[in-house]
Amino acid sequence: MTNSNHPRRAKQLFEAKFDPRLKTYSYIGGILIFIVTIVGIVLLPFWLIFGKVYIDRYFNSLFCELTTRALHFKKGVWFQTERTVPLDKIQDLTFKEGPILRYFGLSYLKIETAGQSVQGAADMSLTGIIDARKFREMVLDQRDQITDKSPESMQIQTSDESEMIPVLKEILKTLKNIESKTG
């Protein structure tokens, strides 16, 4: 079926690409983690031999797309993660470039949504997207488009308001009854 037959189906607007330098960054990051941990020192030779194969597979599993309604992300080799974040739930996209990321020419996007389970935790984080600033702006622009209170959307709300008046009057009556019993 085509999108014209399904008006609610989200249309892909942009597929983000990941910078191949992310592979080097991840490989070296793995080496550093193994060096600073006691157990890691034992595993370091395996990482040096098999790490590049794992990183290549991981890199090839990365997928991120912006649709008209959501941001979709997939990653993982052994344990696969697939996330869909509705654009109207996105509160902020934080763009970060630390000295190490900057050295590799990479950046980090942290997506924060309404109703996050842990205070300060990101719902999704994306490292190594090519032209991350542009991607961030595209996501925020699309979010603003679907959450915009344009005159057309206000007109639809106005027609629904006439149906809501009897319900609101009933709620007011109930509240007044509650107030008279407690007051």
For the chain, the structural domain boundaries read 12-18+62-147, 150-183
pLDDT mean over 86-91: 90
- Please state which CATH number belongs to domain 12-18+62-147: 2.30.29.30
Kindly indicate the confidence band of residue 118, based on its pLDDT and cuts at 50, 70 and 90: low
Q: Is the pLDDT at 1 greater than 60, yes or no? A: no
The pairs formed by 113-119 with CB atoms below 8 angstroms and a separation of 24 or more are 113/85, 113/89, 114/89, 115/89
Write down the pLDDT at residue 60. 96
Question: What residues have CB less than 8 Å from 105, skipping those under 6 apart?
Answer: 19, 21
pLDDT 10s digits, 25-62: 999 999 999 999 988 889 999 999 999 999 999 999 99
List, in sequence order, every beta strand (DSSP E) within 29-180: 63-67, 70-75, 81-86, 90-96, 108-113, 124-127
Write down the pLDDT at residue 46. 94
Q: Is the pLDDT at 125 greater than 90, yes or no? A: no
pLDDT 10s digits, 152-168: 555 555 556 677 888 88
Write down the pLDDT at residue 137. 94
Alpha-carbon Rg of the chain, whole angstroms?
24
CB 74 within 8 A of CB 62: yes
Write down the pLDDT at residue 3. 44
Q: Could you tell me the pTM of the whole model? A: 0.69
DSSP, collapsed to helix, strand or coil, labels residue 2 as: coil
Could you tell me which residues are beta bridge partners of residue 63? Answer: 74
CB 76 within 8 A of CB 90: no
Kindly indicate the confidence band of residue 176, based on its pLDDT and cuts at 50, 70 and 90: confident
Q: Is the pLDDT at 81 greater than 50, yes or no? A: yes
Q: Which residue has the higher pLDDT, 8 or 87?
A: 87
Average pLDDT, the chain: 84
C-alpha angle 73-79-84 in degrees, rounded to nearest 5 = 20
